[in-house]
Structure 1
Amino acid sequence: MTLFRNASELLPGLQPAAFRGVRFDVVDVSHEVGRRIVTHFFPGVDAQAREDQGAHDGEIRAVGFVIGDDYIARGRALEAALRAPGPGTLVHPWLGEIRAVVPSGAKLRFQAIELRVMRFEISFEREVAQLTGGLATLPRLLGGLGSIRAAAGALIAAALGRQSGTVIALAAAVGVATDTLRIASREAERARNGAALAGGISSTQRRLARQASAEALAGLPSQLGEAIAQAARPRRRSAVAPGPRPADRPEPIPPRDGARMGLRVLDPVGDLRATMLADRATRAALHAAIATGAVAAASAIDYESREEALRQRDALDAALRVSAALASDLATDLPGPASRLWRAIGDARSALTIDINEIIGRLPRTRRVVAPGVPVMLLAYDLAGDDPRSVFDQAVEITRRNRLANPAFTPTEGVEVLR
């Protein structure tokens, strides 16, 4: 039992504040305000020209402490909140709630002579409207996926904290997480070049079985979603001549296979039995995290036709819609964390639609040709027209696009060809 009920009694003058739900105490808060004035100077002329470009809401600088027996855990939680992508809610002691982002340079300081205390200096910037031009669609989409993973981890932490970390609640959540990892590992093994991903998921499953904790579960959505996204990310070719490599990196999963693998995992995960608040939250969080991995993999697909892009968009949107439904089911018990996850999923769905619609207009259309039993080569001759040099390429493309086992005969339902 401590002599002081809170930090302000220990150090008078401290004011409570929070960022992304992580509480701390501040002793000094300042912010910049004014106008964005650009001054133009001209050689040989003393007069200046000033251009007013609007209101200026500058940095919000906070200096404070994290105090208590759990200062290390709360310090790590604050570090995770600062690293999370996208804007978060800053609860200012005097100005109230502010949507803010954190640029680089936040300082967290531990000292041996100050036990149970962590000092920090953090600069926040107010969230402002972002330009949404065509070139910015992919970064906006990937940033939205990161927000989903962060909100999913916070949902699990809130659910386990709501049930006071009971053994039964923790065991139920671990059970759902273990089943999810097993399903994901099995599907990764089936994917082309998915052995490395399957091995990583299996090792995560073993670590969770050995050391199950609320912190490990809360970090699982980010780990799993990022692992799927990274495994299906194409390699970039280096502009520097390659030198000796200590070890060969595994080949990435083709983006189409990565998106397909993620979507196959979602159905059985969504059907997992969950009755308690902790395991329901874990199921919803991991479902959303896996959906982000599938969307990230699909963002690297080089689509060949409008119809393919539309089918992929609809499949991914349906998966995110299920994730949003699972999150909304928790709104009664966890209104704050569930609504944040639901909003993040909604933003990602909008960004996904914008990103794919941006490229649909530049893609060729397809049409279905019904010619039962006709050899693919004969069909290619008809499509090639007056360009006989493209016959063989046409036949190869038709066979690959329709996954024909025997190109000597076209199926009765017809084949899909580019217009």
Structure 2
Amino acid sequence: MSGALSALSGLGAGSLGSQTGLLGGMAGGLLNGALSVAAWRGVTFWMPNSQDEAGRRMLQIWFPGRDDFRTQDFGAQDGPIRVSGLIIGDDYVIRAKRMRTVLMQAGNGTLVHPWWGAIKCRLVQSGSISFSDGEIRMTRFQATFVRVPPDPTSKGLFARIADTLTSVLTQADALVDSAVMAMRSVLSVLTLPLALVSAVSSVVSVAHGVWDAVTGSTAALPVRTAASAPLAALAGGVSVPVTNSDTTYADSVATLLAGVPAAVAQSVSPTASAAIAPADAVSGVDENDIDPAVATTLLITAVQSLRTAGQTAAEQAADPASVRGLMLGATLMTAAQAVAAASSLTYASQDDALSWRDRLLAMLDDLIGDIETLAGTSGAAVPISGMLGALRDSKAAITADISERLGRLPAVIAVTVPRQMSAWLVAYAVAGDNTAEVEDVWTDMVARNGLRQPAVTNPGTLRVLQPSDLT
């Protein structure tokens, strides 16, 4: 979550979800332009199409005189990945020769897949490379790969998680899905009673009030700009259908309630700037970019506000169970966007990372408590176990991600100041023989401890990053 995986965070991993159009997973406008870039053993190409088979190795067994059959399960089947590639450019012949060479190499290789990421694969069939006089400056090729099985001796949680940031985003996406399923459960009736329609209207009104207050209280103009359109949609509400025979109404409510948090998370600025890029493509120049810390803090605050406002609204509603279920879905989607926004955070120290971890885990623990309370009451049928599982999986993914990064983050040390002295003297004492680090030590010390008069530091304890880790 520190942004170490720049390829992912640089593509703007933000709002998540897969059930409705607005939630839309991690795919966004910025992602679409680079989505089909792939590589095999370092040779890059465009991958417009890919097919991946997955399932179980099942053996069907028939017996004489019987029309039914039995099955025997031989385990998971990680099927082949069939790739259609394009090599385009003035150097297409040279790169086609390179591709032909790497296709003939023995052993395992790395397939950089635009959707699945980096995969250790093996070529199982001969690839085909084709040219055409009607397609100048372009070569087509096809290849079939299979994933290399993981080391059977690897054990433990961290050995199973090859990419902890992707794991966090995957679990947050599952959290959004569980929230949408909760709303579908509440709004699954064929005929919408007046009390249920009133509950939807109440939830939308409460959400609008919360988001209007939360976004209006921030001094960050990009936050208000990002939230303006979905906030206006909340004010307009949602139309009630004549018939409710499918999930269209439930999905429209979910989309409406997810609009503001999704917009905030999608507008989070990447943590890394490109060294060479067009002026308008460099991170931070877009006035609509939101600082990850600001966005994450705002979304965590909104989660708590939605919880409080939802409890009040349920107590006053004619259909309190439906209000609780819908408000819980809205809160879960906001929490998922907070986790997504936090994936772009850059941590200054181990203490900083642990502080953000504790804030995110506390937010998820509060939601677990709300769901467990809801499970003990009668009312709307919502997928309690699914939501609890998604929340607990998100907690595990966040913990694993922070733990994996702690070793690469600088530690904060405590320095005892025995008497009143200048912060410069303290900085020289901390830096030791490396006088080049004195200024960095002093700058960090003043900012971290809020020293208003660094020239005169009172006795006590100051916290500062280890000198060798300062940059």
TM-score above 0.5: yes
With over 3 angstroms needed to count, the CA separation of the structure-2 counterparts of 1:55 and 1:252, relative to structure 1, is closer
| CA distance in 2: counterparts of 1:413 and 1:164, whole angstroms | 68
With over 3 angstroms needed to count, the CA separation of the structure-2 counterparts of 1:238 and 1:336, relative to structure 1, is same
With over 3 angstroms needed to count, the CA separation of the structure-2 counterparts of 1:345 and 1:54, relative to structure 1, is closer
Contact 1:380/1:395 (<8 A) preserved: yes
What is the identity, as a one-letter code, of the residue corresponding to 1:228? V
Give the aligned partner of residue 302 of structure 1: 346
Larger RCO (alpha carbons 8 Å, 6+ apart): 2
What is the identity, as a one-letter code, of the residue corresponding to 2:445? I
Give the aligned partner of residue 88 of structure 2: none
- 1:138 maps to which of 165, 184, 187: 165
- 1:274 maps to which of 294, 313, 318: 313
| CA distance in 2: counterparts of 1:402 and 1:174, whole angstroms | 48
Contact 1:256/1:298 (<8 A) preserved: yes
With over 3 angstroms needed to count, the CA separation of the structure-2 counterparts of 1:263 and 1:377, relative to structure 1, is farther
With over 3 angstroms needed to count, the CA separation of the structure-2 counterparts of 1:131 and 1:317, relative to structure 1, is closer
Give the aligned partner of residue 254 of structure 1: 291
| CA distance in 2: counterparts of 1:34 and 1:358, whole angstroms | 34
SS in 2 for 1:416: strand
Contact 1:402/1:415 (<8 A) preserved: yes
Contact 1:266/1:290 (<8 A) preserved: yes
SS in 2 for 1:171: helix
Superposed CA offset, 1:83-137 (max 9, x none) = xx9xxxxxxxxxxxxxxxxxxxxxxxxxxxxxxxxxxxxxxxxxx9999655411
| CA distance in 2: counterparts of 1:310 and 1:417, whole angstroms | 16
What is the identity, as a one-letter code, of the residue corresponding to 1:418? L
SS in 2 for 1:274: helix
Contact 2:280/2:286 (<8 A) preserved: no
Superposed CA offset, 1:224-258 (max 9, x none) = 4432322224166568742789xx74342222222
Name structure 1 gaps, 5 residues minimum.
1-19, 21-30, 37-52, 60-84, 86-127
| CA distance in 2: counterparts of 1:369 and 1:396, whole angstroms | 15
Give the aligned partner of residue 356 of structure 1: 402
| CA distance in 1: counterparts of 2:383 and 2:327, whole angstroms | 14
Name structure 2 gaps, 5 residues minimum.
1-18, 20-53, 60-73, 81-114, 116-148, 151-156, 240-248, 315-319, 467-471
Contact 1:153/1:220 (<8 A) preserved: no
Contact 1:149/1:221 (<8 A) preserved: no
Q: CA deviation at 1:207?
A: 1.8
Give me the TM-score of the superposition, normalised by structure 1.
0.62
| CA distance in 2: counterparts of 1:189 and 1:364, whole angstroms | 36
How do 1:119-198 and structure 2 match up within 5 A?
A: 133=160, 135-161=162-188, 164-189=191-216, 191=218, 194-198=220-224
Contact 1:174/1:217 (<8 A) preserved: no
| CA distance in 1: counterparts of 2:458 and 2:198, whole angstroms | 51
With over 3 angstroms needed to count, the CA separation of the structure-2 counterparts of 1:177 and 1:405, relative to structure 1, is farther
Contact 1:228/1:290 (<8 A) preserved: no
Give the aligned partner of residue 317 of structure 1: 361
| CA distance in 2: counterparts of 1:369 and 1:32, whole angstroms | 58
Q: CA deviation at 1:349?
A: 0.8
Contact 1:235/1:252 (<8 A) preserved: no
With over 3 angstroms needed to count, the CA separation of the structure-2 counterparts of 1:412 and 1:289, relative to structure 1, is farther
Q: CA deviation at 1:393?
A: 1.5
What is the identity, as a one-letter code, of the residue corresponding to 1:165? L
Q: CA deviation at 1:366?
A: 1.4
What is the identity, as a one-letter code, of the residue corresponding to 2:370? L
State yes or no: 1:226 paired with 2:252.
no
With over 3 angstroms needed to count, the CA separation of the structure-2 counterparts of 1:261 and 1:209, relative to structure 1, is closer
Contact 1:138/1:299 (<8 A) preserved: yes
Q: CA deviation at 1:189?
A: 4.8
Identity %: 25
Q: CA deviation at 1:310?
A: 1.4
What is the identity, as a one-letter code, of the residue corresponding to 1:282? L
- 2:234 maps to which of 208, 222, 233: 208
What is the identity, as a one-letter code, of the residue corresponding to 1:136? D
Contact 1:134/1:358 (<8 A) preserved: no
Q: Relative to structure 2, which stretch is displaced further, 363-372 or 296-305? A: 363-372
Q: How many residue pairs get matched? A: 304
How do 1:9-408 and structure 2 match up within 5 A?
A: 34=57, 56=77, 133=160, 135-161=162-188, 164-189=191-216, 191=218, 194-213=220-239, 214-215=249-250, 216-234=252-270, 237=273, 241-242=277-278, 249-272=286-309, 273-275=312-314, 276-331=320-375, 332-371=378-417, 374-408=421-455
Q: CA deviation at 1:34?
A: 4.7
Superposed CA offset, 1:114-168 (max 9, x none) = xxxxxxxxxxxxxx99996554111111011111112112212322335953344
With over 3 angstroms needed to count, the CA separation of the structure-2 counterparts of 1:154 and 1:325, relative to structure 1, is same
Q: CA deviation at 1:334?
A: 4.4
SS in 2 for 1:161: coil
Give the aligned partner of residue 464 of structure 2: 417
